[in-house]
Structures are given as C-alpha cells and as structure tokens.
Amino acid sequence: MNAPTTFRAVRIVVVGGGAGGLELVTQLGKKLGRSGRAEITLIDSSRTHIWKPLLHEVAAGTLDSHDDELEYLAQASENHFRFVLGRMNGLDRANKLVRLAPLFSAGGEQIMPERTYPYDLLVIAVGSICNDFGIPGVAEHCMFLDTTEEAELFQNRLLEAYLRAQAAGGASQPGELDVAIVGGGATGIELSAQLYQAARLLSSYGLDNIKPSDIKIHILEAAPTLLAGLPERLSRATLQQLESLGIDVRLGVKVVEVTEAGMRTESGEFIRAAAKVWAAGVKAPDFLKDIDGLETNRINQLVVGPTLQTTRDDDIYAIGDCAACVWPGKGIYVPPRAQSAHQMASLVLSNLRSRLQGKSQKNFKYLDYGSLVSLGKYSTVGNLMGNLMGSVMVEGFIARLVYLSLYKMHQLALFGPFRVVLLMISSFFRKRIQPKIKLH
C-alpha cells in the first residue's frame, strides 16, 4: 500500500507590518489563509501598528498614538494569518529561513533567544529609517521619527521642556524651547506646522509663562527649494504658508555638525535649539545591506525587477520603502511613499495568487496620484494626478479631504468599510471629549 501523501500549505511570510506589509498580509489572510490554500505569517519587531505618516502628529502631541494603533495579534486572529513578534536581522536563502534577533524586555531581560522562521515565499516590507549621511553628532543629538517610540519620546521631552520653563517663570536661556528640523520634505514641514499648533494649545491649557512667540521653529534644507522633486509652485505655496506662521525656513543651508546646543551649518553659522530633529532623507535598514547575496543599492534598498521579485531570488519579493524599483520612463526609483507601498502591496497580492495558480505574474506600474502636504489645521497644499494628466494644484478643504483619504484607504484595506465608518464615528466623539493635545 502506498504511504498517504501529506499536503503542506505554501508558507508565505511577510516581514514588516507597515503601510504596505500589513495591507498585504491582511488581504493574503482573507484570500488564501482562510481557505487553507496558504499559511500566512507576519513578522514585525513591534506589537502594534500605527500608520507612519501620522508620526509627526504623535511627536507634537496632537495625536495620541493609542487612539490610532492596531494590535497585530488581534488583526491576525480576525484575518486568518499568524503574527510572530521578532526583529529580522538576517536570512538563510539556501535553507529558506528568516533569522530573528533575540528579544529583550524593557528591563533588559531576554524574552526570546535568537531564532529562525521558515518560508517558501518571502516578502520583505521593513520600510526605511532616517539617513544621517554620517554627519557628526546627528546620531547622538538628533531625534528621528522612524517609530512610534521615537515620536512619543520626542513629545515627552517637549512637554518636559515646557513644564520646566513654566515652573521657572518662562524660558531663561536662548534656544531653550526652540526646535531645529533638518529636512524640508513633507515630514519636516508637517512636523513644523504641528509643533506650531502644539505651542499654542499648550499655552491655552495653562502653561502661560511661555508665550508661543518664545518658541522658534527652524527648518534647514540643503536644496534651494522645499519639497525637492515636486512642482515648484507647490514648494513656493508651502514656503509662503510656513513663513506666514513665523516658521524660520532656511534654504540652501547644509548642516555639517550637530551638538547638544544646536546645529552648525557649512557657512559657520550656529543655530541654537534644544530639540533637534533629523528628517533629511531615508535609507533602508542597515541589516539589508548585502543580505545573503541579494542585490542592494547605495541606500540598502533591495533591488527588485518589474514583478517586485528581488533580482537574485524569485522566491523573495520586496515592497515599500525598502524596495528599489525602477520607475519606467523616469530613470529614477519609485519614491518612498505610503501610496507606493499601497500599490506594491496590491501587485504582490495579485502576483502571489497568480503564482499559486500557475499563472504569469504582472509588472508593477506606479501611478503617481500626486503629493499632499498637511500644515495641520492651518492649510493643506498639494498637486494631484502628478504624472497622469498633468498636475493640478489643490489647496484648502479639497486638499485636506484628499490628504485624509490616503489614510482612509489604508484603513479600508485593513478593516473593510463597515469598521471604517464605526472608527470615524468614534473618532468624531473622542475628539469632542478629549483635550486637543496629549498632556502627559
């Protein structure tokens, strides 16, 4: 008698549950995990997810991260995938294993040892981190907005500086409450507007020894314009808006050193600031560099072909900020944005399903729907349909609606329409009963 053949479902592992990875794994769970056609696993180094474009609001305190975060374990159990807590630090392609670093508690106690996790098909979606370009003092003295923990730490320090100055009867030293942000891209600009709003909210909550005008916010950008790569009129409109708020924007200024007290520029000028934020460019995490022979570019991104499979291993895909995918006809890589991660997740979902059915895979076509920059409650500016039918500049209410719709699309992919409506209702009421800024 023949031995019974054992069926084993294909193991699809997604590492990184961010803007791209979490959408992908949720849809894979629904489409393949539920029916048992594949075993779907998400590995992430964090236990919760927050949509990264909200981090500047968390940093300024205008958003409480707990209001908008998602528990991976709950999402997994509702959507037919498994969640594994772990930080990927290597790969064994020959044996098809993801290597995971040991896990430690906040107190330094080891919770889990170094491990490996098996896969048949792997999707790497670990996003990006800030690139300090090796400039002296940045790593030691600057804050970054790469994770929720960093954004919360920034908010905490800001609040402590305010409370200290309030107790002392006001700011006693130059730059004591000032913030210097390096990088005139969307992150730096959006953070500056949120901080401007936060300063006004804090004095309205009784920290009245500090006048909002005591706080200077500087944006330092090496390029001659803000929002490099986007239409000039958009960058001009943004500059005007920031200047009307009194934010000090310096263009063509290169920071060469950061110290405890502030930042030194190439021309020798020293800008004093207690809080220093680095938001000038990104790179993929360092562990990806030359990871088990996969091809990477100079900023550690995994080079992928048109189907988003890595160039040296068809069983490994990369999506989002950590993928270097050529934008056909443009001669540049697809930009690291939430909309790119969203579109890549959709294509890999379709390609993995085709692959399991023995069908051919599709090529990635990036559609640039434009870029929007939110200046908090003051304004939103942007250009729509950037590369589809010429760019249409939008401002104000319409721009705000389109900006908010990006996040709603992410929520729709994760929760479906019914829950998104419930979330909108609960957020409406929460905003009416909670303080407008996080005060702890």
Ligand X SMILES: Cc1cc2nc3c(=O)[nH]c(=O)nc-3n(C[C@H](O)[C@H](O)[C@H](O)COP(=O)(O)OP(=O)(O)OC[C@H]3O[C@@H](n4cnc5c(N)ncnc54)[C@H](O)[C@@H]3O)c2cc1C
Is 184 a binding residue for ligand X by CB under 6 A? The answer is no
Smallest separation, CB 114 to ligand X (Å): 13
Sites for ligand X among residues 122-161 (CB under 6 A)? 125-127, 145
Is 187 a binding residue for ligand X by CB under 6 A? The answer is yes
Smallest separation, CB 103 to ligand X (Å): 11
Is 242 a binding residue for ligand X by CB under 6 A? The answer is no
Contact 288, 302 (CB under 8 A): yes
Is 336 a binding residue for ligand X by CB under 6 A? The answer is yes
Is 179 a binding residue for ligand X by CB under 6 A? The answer is no
Listed as own residue / partner, the contacts of 403-406 with beta carbons closer than 8 Å and 24 or more positions apart are 403/372, 403/374, 406/53, 406/338, 406/339, 406/372
Smallest separation, CB 123 to ligand X (Å): 10
* Residues in CB range of 7: below 8 A, 6 or more apart: none
Is 46 a binding residue for ligand X by CB under 6 A? The answer is yes
Q: Rounded to an integer, what distance in angstroms lies between the CA atom of residue 15 and that of residue 30?
A: 18
Q: Which is nearer to ligand X, 223 or 404 (CB)?
A: 404
Map residues 246-285 to x or -, x wherever contact with ligand X holds by CB under 6 A: ---------------------------------------x
Smallest separation, CB 166 to ligand X (Å): 27
Compute CA distances 301 → 53, 329, 343, whole Å.
20, 20, 17
Nearest 10 degrees: Cα torsion 260, 265, 266, 268: -90
- In 302-395, alpha helices (H): 338-356
Q: Which is nearer to ligand X, 185 or 262 (CB)?
A: 185
The tokens for 204 are: 């309205």
Q: Rounded to an integer, what distance in angstroms lies between the CA atom of residue 276 and that of residue 218?
A: 10
Q: Which residue of 12, 14, 20, 199 would you call a contact of ligand X, by CB under 6 A? A: 20
Span near ligand X by CB under 6 A; candidates 3-11, 133-141, 306-314, 337-345:
337-345
Q: Rounded to an integer, what distance in angstroms lies between the CA atom of residue 15 and that of residue 215?
A: 41
Contact 174, 39 (CB under 8 A): no
Is 58 a binding residue for ligand X by CB under 6 A? The answer is no
Map residues 369-388 to x or -, x wherever contact with ligand X holds by CB under 6 A: --------------------
Tokens 């000032």 locate to 178
Q: Which residue of 13, 15, 220, 381 would you call a contact of ligand X, by CB under 6 A? A: 15
For residue 52, give the nearest of 25, 11, 19 by alpha carbon.
19
Smallest separation, CB 285 to ligand X (Å): 5
Dihedral class, residue 206 (left if φ above 0, else alpha if ψ from -120 to 50, else beta): left
Map residues 69-88 to x or -, x wherever contact with ligand X holds by CB under 6 A: ------------------xx
Is 175 a binding residue for ligand X by CB under 6 A? The answer is no
CB atoms near residue 253 (< 10 Å): 20
Q: Which is nearer to ligand X, 144 or 175 (CB)?
A: 144
For residue 128, give the nearest of 283, 310, 339 by alpha carbon.
283
Q: Which is nearer to ligand X, 16 or 175 (CB)?
A: 16
Q: Which is nearer to ligand X, 125 or 198 (CB)?
A: 125
Is 188 a binding residue for ligand X by CB under 6 A? The answer is no
Tokens 């913030």 locate to 179
Smallest separation, CB 344 to ligand X (Å): 8
Q: Rounded to an integer, what distance in angstroms lies between the CA atom of residue 376 and that of residue 60?
A: 11
Is 61 a binding residue for ligand X by CB under 6 A? The answer is no
Smallest separation, CB 206 to ligand X (Å): 28
List, in sequence order, every residue forming a beta bridge with 152; answer none if it has no partner: none
Is 97 a binding residue for ligand X by CB under 6 A? The answer is no
Q: Which residues bind ligand X (CB under 6 A)?
A: 15-21, 43-46, 49, 52-53, 55-56, 87-88, 125-127, 145, 186-187, 190, 285, 320-322, 336-339, 341
